[in-house]
Structure 1
Amino acid sequence: MKQSKKISLFIVFTLIFGVIAVFHESRLGRWIDNEVYEFIYTTESFITTALMLGFTQVGEVLSMVLLSLIVIAILMLYRLNFHTLFFVIAMTLSSILIPVLKNSFDRERPSILRLIEISGFSFPSGHAMGSTIFFGSLMTIFKHTDINYKALIMSLCAAFIVMISSSRVYLGVHYPTDIIAGIIAGLAVLTFTSIVMHKELKASPYSL
């Protein structure tokens, strides 16, 4: 993708996040939240809850840190220096922006259908943003390598983003608009990092 298109995407993602940030407490935002919660009421079950608890654990800070260290070690083992730098920059931005954004908007967490207890603010979802940046970074890295079964691996990464993000709404600790904003913010961070690393990522593909 050309640098100009990446810059355009970054602007679009930033604007979308801004719109959600402004209107997430509006009538439309609350309508979206309520409609999703109504759907969750009809799908709640023991098996689904256990599955969602598992996915939400993958998105926890400690899990993300451990997984990040493993990814960095593997990338360095294969001497994918630029890819490692891309991943480190993206994850560093994630760790900085998530608390900054949460404390900037001060949105209280939902009080209904709470299946787990958690503190902190709600908007945007740290799990949604963090998992989008983590697995999105992997997808970007895989795109610039000659790894086998690339399409399958990238599909699994996308599935993890969806499931981790969805688990937060299902468990009652985030509004749907928190999730949407988190994913959009994550995409903006990935696009920004890709802009910074544009020339390096355009280099010849590596094999894993």
Structure 2
Amino acid sequence: MLDLFSEEAPWSEPLAEGAVILRRRVRDEADELMTLVEAIASQNPFYHRITPGGHRMSVAMTNCGDFGWSTDARGYQYSGRDSVTGRRWPPMPDRFRSLAVACAQEAGFTGFHPDACLINRYEPGAKLSLHQDKDEEDFNQPIVSVSLGLPAVFQFGGFERGEATQRVLLEHGDVVVWGGPSRLRYHGILPLKPGIHPRTGGFRFNLTFRRAFR
């Protein structure tokens, strides 16, 4: 297990072709990122969405950017407005956008222009079942996923739900980027274990940057 308070420099850890973990990539700017998350949440609070099947998601969500991802009785979709409040999503901070572009470039993906940032908040026991990110129009654009707060076990699988998965620990400041031949791999988060992080308390936050529309 990685030491959360180690002074070791960031490094890259391959997951699969087109997929990499940028370990500790945003550790030194995590406080700034969390301050921006809190500002976004003050405009559009975290909310437990209801799936098309009527189940309450254990992960609470908000979004920022031109579009936001959500789920309700109509299905999974991107929209310029929150279906709960009817208001437009808060704008994506320039710092978020530049970070996502830089991380994508470091992983080998140029020309990434995210128009959506889904922000998930995990409390102990919350999880994200194996799924594909496939509601976007252009699968040539990668996914950039930033972890803040409590550690979590990330599952990274194949192209069918039943295929074997890798299980890797993601800690505060880690960034996962996947695209190209790995763009449609199944992935998820195992139930979060209880703990206290000095910046986020009993929560884990995840920022997922995507290009929703061409």
TM-score, with normalisation over the residues of structure 1?
0.26
Q: Hey, which of these two has a bigger chunk of helix by percent?
A: 1
Q: Hey, which of these two has a bigger chunk of strand by percent?
A: 2
Larger radius of gyration: 1
**Greater relative contact order structure (CA < 8 Å, 6+ sep):** 1
TM-score, with normalisation over the residues of structure 2?
0.26
